[in-house]
Amino acid sequence: MKLDAKTGADLIAKIRNVKVLILDVDGVLTDGRIIMSDDGQETKCFNVRDGHGLKLIQRAGIDVIFLTGRKSRVVEHRARELGIEKVYQGSLDKLAVFNEILASSGLAPEQVACMGDDIVDLPVLRRAGFSIAVSDAHDEVLGAVDLVTKNPGGRGAVREVCELILKTQGMWEELMGRYRA
């Protein structure tokens, strides 16, 4: 996704302010499907490119937070693998958690990007400085955000947003230096 004059200076300004990226998990980092075995073990499918995008954005100094309404050991494992320390699971009131994150970090809402896919994410999306929905999000969400990704949840949407933030903030070329040697 490339920003140009048609995109608008307001959106570019919002993206340049981002210091933290808050992600829902099911439907954003995954395609929303939950696979359960006969013994109740849960499995989720994550996109490796989304994971690398999250590593890149962390290298650039942008914090990543998982904020999900469900509880899953799979999410704990994925967060640990990616070096994401702030994981809020079982968050039925995501806005309350969002406000706690702001209070504890000293960040303003304008410094937070939030990415979601369903109506439970709407309160946080409306409060965040930069709000994003995956392309296959619920219609209510699609109509309430600053940006809709080209890719659906679990299929590269997170990587798309990570690259957009890095490029808009002027950090992409420096990060790519290690890969272009």
Residue 3 lies in a domain: no
Report yes or no: 97 and 67 within 8 Å, Cβ to Cβ.
yes
Q: What is the CATH number of the domain that holds 64?
A: 3.40.50.1000
Q: How many domains does the chain have?
A: 1
Calculate the alpha carbon distances from 16 to 34, 104, 165, 176 in Å.
Answer: 34, 22, 7, 19
pLDDT value at residue 42 = 86
Residue 86 lies in a domain: yes
Give 72-117 pLDDT, tens digit per residue: 999 999 999 999 999 999 999 999 999 999 999 999 999 999 999 9
In this structure, of 55-64, 88-97, 154-163, 169-178, the range with the lowest mean pLDDT score is 169-178
Residue 20 lies in a domain: yes
Give 36-50 pLDDT, tens digit per residue: 889 888 888 999 999
Residue 1 lies in a domain: no
| 1 has pLDDT over 70 | no
Determine the structural domain holding residue 71 and report its residue range.
Answer: 9-171
Strand 147-148 relative to strand 35-36, pairing: unpaired
> pLDDT class for 8, splitting at 50, 70, 90?
confident
β-sheet bridge partners, residue 64: 21
Residue 156 lies in a domain: yes
168 vs 164: CA distance, rounded Å: 6
Residue 181 lies in a domain: no
Instruction: HSE, CB side, 13 Å, CA atoms: give it for residue 1.
Output: 23
Encoded tokens for 121: 């994410």
pLDDT value at residue 34 = 87
Give 10-24 pLDDT, tens digit per residue: 999 999 999 999 999
Residue 128 lies in a domain: yes
**pLDDT, the chain, mean:** 93
| Residue type at 143 in one-letter notation | G
Q: pTM for the full model?
A: 0.93
CA neighbor of 62 nearest in space, from 108, 103, 111, 13: 111
pLDDT value at residue 2 = 53
Q: According to DSSP H, which parts of the chain are helical? A: 9-16, 48-59, 73-82, 94-105, 122-127, 139-142, 157-168, 172-176
